[in-house]
Structures are given as structure tokens and as C-alpha cells.
Amino acid sequence: MKSQYFGTKEENTWCPGCPNFGILQAFKNALADLVNEKKIKAKNIVIASGIGCHAKIFDYLNVNGFYGLHGRVLPLCFGMKVSNPELTVIGFGGDGDTYAEGISHFVHNCRYNADITMLVHNNKVFALTTGQATPTSEKGFVGRSTPLGVKDKPLNPIASAIVNGATFVARGSALNTNHLKELIREAIKHKGFSFIDILQPCLTFNNFSPYLQKHIYKLDKNHKVTDFRQAFRKSMEWDYSFKEKDKIPIGIFYKIKKPTFGEQWPQLKKSWYKVKRKINFKKTVEEFK
């Protein structure tokens, strides 16, 4: 199977040169690899998206999908997974989508550790609504709704995910598609809640490509992904502000084995739509007589 299999003929309306194209390609490549390696089945792949530029990916992918509401990607993913444990569930969210409107779902899904993968297109701006600040916009960011500049520190999603119990936490870059593809593969293969914050500069409203290219580096092999303290320390290395001396690590910060949500529920063995029920009304109401 080639990665083109996962493409569609729908017209792509992302801005020319948008790094989202890099994410789309990395994702298709990762899926093709995993299907070819028989790690997953194409028919069992299902994606969910929120609302925003990232969400258009729904139309560009030839897989099962649920184009949901702004901020609600993770509940959809969680519901699909508990409904059918055979599915390979992948959520796409934006930074506004996931960290503003959807932050409660993000925190709790880190805790639940259901076997799903969450990919966040983080451009540190609301793009489709034409350039407002999000929770990961840097202090001082001037957008159309914040002409006086953002007054608060950005949220650090990597640190949040680690602290809240995600069992696979990574950062990728939409500009490094091969590296990103590898991260996505690992994330999907991981049993448990996998999260990748993907830096994806918005060429129109928040072009931090030059900064990203200058400051980015790959986590080296000595980084121990199972060490919570080390992972947390690494997550604090960059606070999502554009400071002159900072370096931005990409790669897997944290990866541990923990029972998944589904493994802990005796009922979650079979897809519910395949369950055959024998219902005995007389018996169910016996206790009331």
C-alpha cells in the first residue's frame, strides 16, 4: 500500500506552502508504513478533528472519520475507542481547539490513558478566524483581538501532558516531515494515550518558521524516555516563547507502559455493535416484585 491510497480528490484549501501539508504527508506515510507492516488495518483507522485549519485534514484523508466540534476532538476519540476497541483512533486538533476550548478534555484524557493518539497542529494562533491569540501564543503577541499584546505566559502542553498522566508525549515539527512521520508511527503503535504537539508555523498570521529552524534540535539518544523527572525537566527547556537563547527539543520526551483504559474494564473486549444480546424482560424486572 502506498501513502497515496490515503489521499482524496477534494480540493485543498490550505494556504499555499502551509506546513499543514507536511503534517498531512507525514501522517499518510506513517499510515502506509503501519499498514504495510501489518501493525494496523486500513479499515480500522478512524480520525476525528476539531474545527480550524487543521480540521480540513478530514477532507484530505481517505479514512473513516468524524469531523467534530471545536475543542471536542478527544471526547469523540474516547467514545469511538470505548465503542470499538479494534479501531485505531487518531485525533487532530489545533492549539486553540485543544488547549483553550478543549483543555479539560485534554487534561482528563491524559489521565484516562485510553489507547488513542492525539496530534495537535500548534501554530500558536487562531488562523482560520484570522489571527487571534491562543493559549500557546507568546507573551507580547499582537493579534487582531490583542492589539495591546498578550499579557500572559504561554501554556506548555508538553509539561501538562507529562504531569497529567499521558504515557507517550512528543513534540514534532511540521517542517521536519520525516522525523514527524517517525513520531506519528511510534505514537500510533504505543498502547495508551499518545500525544504529539506539532509545531506548525502559520505563514499568514504567525510565521515563526525562521525562529523554529534556527532553534530546533532533536532529543538525543541519551534522553531516557521512561524517566519522569528527566522528561519533565526536558519539557521545561522551552517555554513556548521566542527567546534568543532558547533551544527547542523535538522528539519523544516521555514514554512508559501503563494499563490502558480499555485494559482495565472487563466489558471492553469486543466491539459493541457486534454484541448479541438476549434480553429477558421478566428477569430484568424480577427485583421489583
Residues contributing to the site for other proteins (CB under 8 A): 8, 10, 43-44, 46, 48, 51, 56, 58-59, 62-69, 72, 74-84, 86-87, 104-105, 107-108, 265-268, 271-275, 277, 279, 281, 284-285, 288-289
Shortest Cβ 111–other proteins spacing (Å): 9
How many Å apart are CA 202 and CA 98, to the nearest integer? 17
Shortest Cβ 73–other proteins spacing (Å): 9
Q: Residue 79 or 215: which CB sits closer to other proteins?
A: 79
Query: Which DSSP string do the residues of 185-239 spell out, in sequence order?
Result: HHHHHSSS-EEEEEE--BTTTB--HHHHHHHEEE--TTS-TT-HHHHHHHHTS--
Shortest Cβ 83–other proteins spacing (Å): 4
Shortest Cβ 219–other proteins spacing (Å): 31
Query: DSSP code of 132?
Result: B
Q: Residue 162 or 268: which CB sits closer to other proteins?
A: 268
Q: Could you tell me the three cell numbers for 24?
A: 498531512
Q: Residue 30 or 51: which CB sits closer to other proteins?
A: 51
Q: What is the CB neighbour count within 10 angstroms for residue 162? A: 22
* Separation of CA 205 from chain center: 22
Q: Residue 64 or 132: which CB sits closer to other proteins?
A: 64
Q: Residue 66 or 211: which CB sits closer to other proteins?
A: 66
How many Å apart are CA 260 and CA 258, to the nearest integer? 6
Cα of first residue to Cα of last residue in the chain, in angstroms, is: 60
114, amino acid identity:
A
Q: Could you tell me the three cell numbers for 78?
A: 474516547
Shortest Cβ 214–other proteins spacing (Å): 36
